[in-house]
Structure 1
């Protein structure tokens, strides 16, 4: 999309490009899985590239948002089973661990993350999407956890995160059966947060980015930290959350927000 905030890469020959494309635009980073001939399946190289890149991005104070997507025709079809079929059991475990590390690196990013989903989003690819804060998709999206049909189950956090999104019963249905949802059903049960027709995903993302830029970067990071505590800690108290909120009371961003309110103008954020 011309003029997009996302700088979406065009489809390219995977033999001539890295397995992960990274585009920066004014604090917005788009990570594009780039193995289109195998529907962006996660081999060791791609899993390690995602983990390393996400860990580096986590140190960037100017970062506002990370968008994760795949080079068409898919978001991510899961682990590269062709590669895995040639591995020893020990190597298969290392492959699973590498995918889990990639998923956790995305989950631990200190800023909002969005999975932009077109086409297949399956198995480890679906776990990557679950690790994001939001999932935006077009109607070509198909989401599922087919691991039980291969004799395993989701090993990169899907069993933990899926019930939090859709409830235990629906999660059990999907995980026990291994069936794949179309975009409409995934949206209906809350697995997809926003849904659009094909060709409109970038427009939907750009609209959300415009809304995000009106929010103070420090406040957004604090909200992300609070949500991470709520979702990953067994006993979170109001005092734990208030400690994150209290730190904002003396921040320059809060001062600017108050001034902008009094002066009836939009706030001007340092990393806006």
Structure 2
């Protein structure tokens, strides 16, 4: 791959955008991201970190590709990115975007397609599509509205203003803000903690969140036991339950469980 790197260290996979300068998402990178997320889906990784090489996470779509391209040709090439983000959202493992510098346009949609975002304190976010007279092309307006509400989402999308990481954290858009020099180390610790957790419960939780977002709370609750009860048949859960029961009987706190994925 020319613009994307895929690496695995133990249970942690990383997909890194690497397109100097600014990691702009050109046509080739769209295909490489789709292929990268497919590789992660077929791997034994238990958590994924999405990163951007250099000073900025991602400056969005590479508009240098777009002028003069007929819409009939442009649409399928842009839709490749939608397919890549769908694959990212469908991964059964926790996904974390590690954001530094500027994160805008399609790069912001990429970060929002992850389960969680950890950002450097100086990071800034924006949807800048309106400056070009276009809309958020991968559903960013809905992604941000789900977090900040319709009115604030409309303001962000219409005006294309940049917003800092601290404010985004207050608005519940990102999960954690860390000092700039500690982004990589903090994300690695965060990812390792997720990798040590219960993969079956994570996958089930993601299934239920997608069901809730798509069909509403009533339908999600109706599907809950069908997703949750099979976990009790796994070796991991039975071992954790036995150890927890023994601890309770002995007047001790729950011991730390080990989850193999079985």
Output the TM-score relative to the length of structure 2: 0.90
Q: CA deviation at 1:203?
A: 2.4
User: Aligned match of 2:31 in 21, 37, 48?
Assistant: 48
Q: In the alignment, is residue 20 of structure 1 matched against residue 10 of structure 2? A: no
1:23-172 matched pairs, under 5 angstroms:
23-37=7-21, 39-60=22-43, 62-172=44-154
Greater percentage in helix: 2
Pick which of 178-187 and 139-148 moved more. Answer: 178-187
Contact kept in structure 1, 2:118 and 2:176, CA below 8 Å: yes
**Gaps spanning 5+ residues in structure 1: where?**
1-16
Q: Which structure 2 segments of 5+ residues have no match?
A: 248-253
Q: CA deviation at 1:101?
A: 1.6
Instruction: Find 1:267's aligned residue among 245, 249, 257.
Output: 257
**Pairing partner for 1:222 from 204, 210, 231:** 204
Q: Which whole-Å CA distance do the structure 1 matches of 2:88 and 2:32 have between them?
A: 12
Report the secondary structure of 1:236's partner residue: helix
Equivalent residue for 2:241, pick from 248, 258, 269? 258
Q: Is the 8 A contact 1:76 1:121 kept in 2?
A: yes
Counterpart-to-counterpart distance in 2, 1:150 and 1:50: 24
What secondary structure does 1:266 align onto? Answer: coil
Report the 3-state secondary structure (helix = DSSP H, G, I; strand = E; otherwise coil) of the residue aligned with 1:153: coil
Distance in 2, Cα, partners of 1:129 & 1:50: 13
Q: Using the alignment, how far apart are the partners of 2:137 and 2:41 within structure 1?
A: 24
CA shift, 1:191, in A, is 1.6
1:5-42 superposed Cα distances (whole Å, 9 cap, x missing partner):
xxxxxxxxxxxx721111101121110001022x0011
Shift of the alpha carbon at 1:194?
0.4
CA RMSD of aligned residues (A): 1.9
Q: Could you tell me the TM-score, scaled by structure 1's length?
A: 0.87
Alpha-carbon displacement from aligned partner over 1:236-260 (angstroms, at most 9, x marks no partner): 2312122111111111111121133
- Separation in 2 of the partners of 1:95 and 1:179? 27
Q: Which runs of 4+ in 1 moved over 6 A?
A: none
The count of corresponding residues between Structure 1 and Structure 2 is 254
